[in-house]
Chain A
Amino acid sequence: MTRAQMKQRKRDETVTRLEGLVLPKGADWATELRQAALARLLEMGLPTKRDEYWKWTDPTSLTAAVPVKAELFEGNETPFFNAIDRLKIVFVDGVFDASASDDLSGEGIEITTLSQALSADIHWAKDAYGVLELAGQTPVERPLAAMNTAFATDGVVIRVTGKVTKPVSLIYKHENEISDAILHNLVKLDEGAEFTLLENGPAAARFNKVLEVDIADGASFHHIRAQGRDHERRAATHIFTRLGKESLFKSFTMTANGILTRNEVVIELTGDDAQAHVGGVCMGDGEFLHDDTVFITHDAERCESRQVFKKVLRNGATGVFQGKILVKDGAQKTDGYQISQSLLLDGDSQFLAKPELEIYADDVVCSHGSTTGAIDEEALFYMKSRGIPATEATDLLTLAFLAEAIEEIAREDIADDVMQRLEAWLARRKG
């Protein structure tokens, strides 16, 4: 089959898949934006396993007409971020639950739901919705994100004008075994603004989520998300962010199970002296695939980017990392760091990694490393010889392995919470 024929086949498959899906109603400008997204989706076609960018993560269950059933998780786990003073916004299987949510108002911040914002005749979202997603479609196509912009039923639209200390917490509940949710969150930080966004919960049997974050000069955005434990859900998420001068973007993700997770992060450093840190830990056990796909573009001087991803895998779990740093011509004094490591607790699990650097400036420091390893036998014996049983010693070494990534979390209370959950995850598996 020729390239053109393959492309055509992909388009035909996409048309078939989208049959019966209707664009959500809204203001005329919103419909136009959705139609434009749909047009680029049809042009690209939905991803298949034949695509280079998806060679390690089979997207079939993400693109199929109906989601695979996901059993509800009945575990008695305390919800994440419970002890933190935050403004809660709840979605159940992708549907906004006003009664379970807090009042959407606060000092220095404007919050609305996406469906409201896109229904208003005049809203700043008109110039923002799908803009970063569109920018993120080159040089690599991200059709699931375009699909999201076209079909997202809801989400939050947040504008931060000041230094907001109380985090906004998006809670995604899953109560229907065959739910299929598409949510799109849009965040805009004005100059000098500060904001923390928390996200947790499995959301749905199948979840397609996009987060667009536009960070103006001198603004700081902190993002921490925890994707549920022992859950069968499948998720494809995208973060698109653009950073202005001297701004900060910091995102951390913890994933403990879920059958399939593809987290793409697309970062563009467009203002000088900006910093972008993205990291995460995942613990996979059994039928589990976790894919971190990151693309960072340095397009300004003296910016720093940091990627720290750690994965612990066992019982046949798979970890994927595709991370790229692109340093454009003129992005002098770039400091790029990327590390992706996995700890395989048995011989059945695997880690697939593709770290990439593409550099067009001549005065930069970029380093990357990727390792796969088992528990250090020397360390294990040393600990056992001191009386620490093998399981406990393995747990300590596993947590030690994850520690570098957890240090990426700026808030100590959240870092402690993450650490405690990892300990609990390890302890429970012994039984």
Chain B
Amino acid sequence: MLEIKNLHVKLQDEDKQILKGVNLTVEPGKVHAIMGPNGSGKSTTSYVLSGRDGYEVTEGSATLDGADLFDMEPEERAAAGLFLAFQYPVEIPGVGNMTFLRTAVNAQRKMRGEVELTAGEFLKVVREKAKALKIDAEMLKRPVNVGFSGGEKKRNEILQMAMLEPKVCILDETDSGLDVDAMKLVAEGVNALRDGKRSFVVITHYQRLLDHIKPDVVHIMSNGRIIKSGGPELALEVEHNGYADILAEQENA
């Protein structure tokens, strides 16, 4: 279970407060969506949870199954079961996709005290999972994300997620830059990982991704806070009326 309590975050090098008291509890097996206008703090939330440099937590906490995330290095958070699908997956020239995946899988297993996968075992699993995401052998051989199309990059993120089998997956605007077919493929990949225990935080601007990945709870984020939470109907409301009504309602309250 992911629990964020009263999270305040500022930029490290600037006197700029980005998150101003975020509260969020994601139970096992649930899908939470976070929507909100640009600059509301959605992506910052995902970065801070995964341990990216450049942010300073000034107040509050975040725990995964009771363990303090802010007490861990990014790689330890990953081994503890946190996964962030990047909005802009990073290209790594010279490092093969397969090498990258196997190193990641085995590093996590090692950190958890599990037996590392042999090359053969790994290959078998990766081939199977790649096939479901329509990732061919060629893409597995190429350097990580180098020369990949937008859709290929996002599918590659989902493949990593499938291989690493995290407890909590954060998808940061995974739908951005995708056409409808690519989005469906990505959504299918995500849905295939729903097993009643794994939970998801889906950050998105648009309702359309949520047609394919059905959320249990929808949150609206604005100015560093979650200002409204509700069921899937909240996403539809945003789709029809934009954020203006909700923001105005909040100001008047």
Chain A residues proximal to chain B, CB less than 8 Å: 376-379, 381-390, 392, 396-397, 399-401, 403-404
Q: A377-B53, A387-B105, A388-B103 are in contact. List 12 more A-B contacts (CB 8 A).
A: A378-B90, A382-B92, A383-B104, A384-B51, A386-B164, A387-B164, A389-B73, A390-B75, A396-B100, A396-B103, A400-B95, A401-B94
Write out the residue numbers on chain B whose beta carbons fall within 8 Å of the beta carbon of A381.
Answer: 51-53, 74, 90
Write out the residue numbers on chain A whose beta carbons fall within 8 Å of the beta carbon of B174.
Answer: none
User: Knowing A381-B53, A381-B74 touch, does A388 contact B107 (C-beta < 8 A)?
Assistant: yes
Q: In the complex, which of the residues B51, B75, B83 contacts A388, with contact meaning CB atoms closer than 8 Å?
A: B75
In the complex, what's the smallest C-beta–C-beta distance from A206 to chain B, in angstroms?
36
Counting chain B CB atoms within 10 Å of each CB, the highest count among A381, A386, A390, A404 belongs to A386
Q: Are B53 and A383 in contact (CB under 8 A)?
A: no
Q: In the complex, which of the residues B52, B90, B104 contacts A387, with contact meaning CB atoms closer than 8 Å?
A: B104
Q: Are A392 and B103 in contact (CB under 8 A)?
A: yes
User: Knowing A381-B52, A396-B103 touch, does A387 contact B94 (C-beta < 8 A)?
Assistant: no
Q: Are A385 and B108 in contact (CB under 8 A)?
A: no
In the complex, what's the smallest C-beta–C-beta distance from A404 to chain B, in angstroms?
7
A21 to B92, CA, bound (A): 54
Write out the residue numbers on chain A whose beta carbons fall within 8 Å of the beta carbon of B12.
Answer: none
In the complex, what's the smallest C-beta–C-beta distance from A38 to chain B, in angstroms?
48
User: Knowing A400-B94, A401-B94 touch, does A387 contact B73 (C-beta < 8 A)?
Assistant: no
Over the window 87-130 of chain B, the binary record of Cβ atoms lying under 8 Å from chain A Cβ atoms (1 yes, 0 no) is: 00111111100011001110110010000000000000000000
Q: Are A382 and B90 in contact (CB under 8 A)?
A: yes
User: Knowing A396-B95, A397-B95, A400-B92 touch, does A386 contact B86 (C-beta < 8 A)?
Assistant: no
In the complex, what's the smallest C-beta–C-beta distance from A66 to chain B, in angstroms?
44
Write out the residue numbers on chain A whose beta carbons fall within 8 Å of the beta carbon of B79.
Answer: 387
Q: Could you list some 20 contacts between A and B, CB below 8 A?
A: A376-B92, A377-B53, A378-B90, A379-B90, A382-B86, A383-B100, A384-B75, A385-B50, A385-B75, A385-B78, A385-B83, A385-B84, A386-B104, A386-B164, A388-B100, A389-B75, A392-B103, A399-B94, A400-B94, A403-B94
Q: Are B92 and A389 in contact (CB under 8 A)?
A: no
Write out the residue numbers on chain A whose beta carbons fall within 8 Å of the beta carbon of B95.
Answer: 396-397, 400
Write out the residue numbers on chain B whose beta carbons fall within 8 Å of the beta carbon of A388.
Answer: 75, 100, 103-104, 107
Residue of A nearest to B105 (CB): A387
User: Is B222 engaged at the interface, CB distance under 8 Å to the other chain?
Assistant: no
A290 to B107, CA, bound (A): 34
Over the window 128-172 of chain B, the binary record of Cβ atoms lying under 8 Å from chain A Cβ atoms (1 yes, 0 no) is: 000000000000000100000000000000001000100000000
Write out the residue numbers on chain A whose beta carbons fall within 8 Å of the beta carbon of B103.
Answer: 388, 392, 396
A389 to B77, CA, bound (A): 11
Q: Are A400 and B53 in contact (CB under 8 A)?
A: no
In the complex, what's the smallest C-beta–C-beta distance from A41 to chain B, in angstroms?
44
Write out the residue numbers on chain B whose beta carbons fall within 8 Å of the beta carbon of A387.
Answer: 75, 78-79, 104-105, 107-108, 111, 164
Counting chain B CB atoms within 10 Å of each CB, the highest count among A385, A389, A396, A397 belongs to A385
A403 to B93, CA, bound (A): 10
Q: Are B160 and A386 in contact (CB under 8 A)?
A: yes
In the complex, what's the smallest C-beta–C-beta distance from B62 to chain A, in angstroms?
15
Q: Name the interface residues of B65-79: CB closer than 8 Å to any CB of A.
A: 73-75, 77-79
Write out the residue numbers on chain B whose beta carbons fall within 8 Å of the beta carbon of A404.
Answer: 94
A388 to B110, CA, bound (A): 10
In the complex, what's the smallest C-beta–C-beta distance from A37 to chain B, in angstroms?
44
Write out the residue numbers on chain A whose beta carbons fall within 8 Å of the beta carbon of B92.
Answer: 376, 379, 382-383, 397, 400
Write out the residue numbers on chain B whose beta carbons fall within 8 Å of the beta carbon of A390.
Answer: 73, 75
Write out the residue numbers on chain A whose beta carbons fall within 8 Å of the beta carbon of B83.
Answer: 385
Write out the residue numbers on chain B whose beta carbons fall within 8 Å of the beta carbon of A382.
Answer: 86, 89-90, 92
Write out the residue numbers on chain B whose beta carbons fall within 8 Å of the beta carbon of A377.
Answer: 53
Residue of B nearest to A395 (CB): B103
Residue of B nearest to A401 (CB): B94
In the complex, what's the smallest C-beta–C-beta distance from B81 to chain A, in angstroms?
10
Residue of B nearest to A379 (CB): B92
Counting chain B CB atoms within 10 Å of each CB, the highest count among A378, A385, A387 belongs to A387
A400 to B79, CA, bound (A): 24
Residue of A nearest to B86 (CB): A382
A390 to B103, CA, bound (A): 12
In the complex, what's the smallest C-beta–C-beta distance from B171 to chain A, in angstroms?
13
Over the window 22-61 of chain B, the binary record of Cβ atoms lying under 8 Å from chain A Cβ atoms (1 yes, 0 no) is: 0000000000000000000000000000111100000000
A114 to B94, CA, bound (A): 43
Counting chain A CB atoms within 10 Å of each CB, the highest count among B74, B91, B95, B103 belongs to B74
A401 to B94, CA, bound (A): 7
A11 to B90, CA, bound (A): 57
Residue of B nearest to A384 (CB): B74
Question: Which 9 pairs between the two chains have the least Cβ-Cβ distance?
Answer: A400-B94, A387-B78, A387-B108, A382-B90, A384-B74, A386-B104, A403-B94, A384-B75, A400-B95
Write out the residue numbers on chain A whose beta carbons fall within 8 Å of the beta carbon of B94.
Answer: 397, 399-401, 403-404
In the complex, what's the smallest C-beta–C-beta distance from A399 to chain B, in angstroms?
7
Residue of B nearest to A404 (CB): B94
Write out the residue numbers on chain B whose beta carbons fall within 8 Å of the beta carbon of A383.
Answer: 92, 100, 104
A382 to B157, CA, bound (A): 11
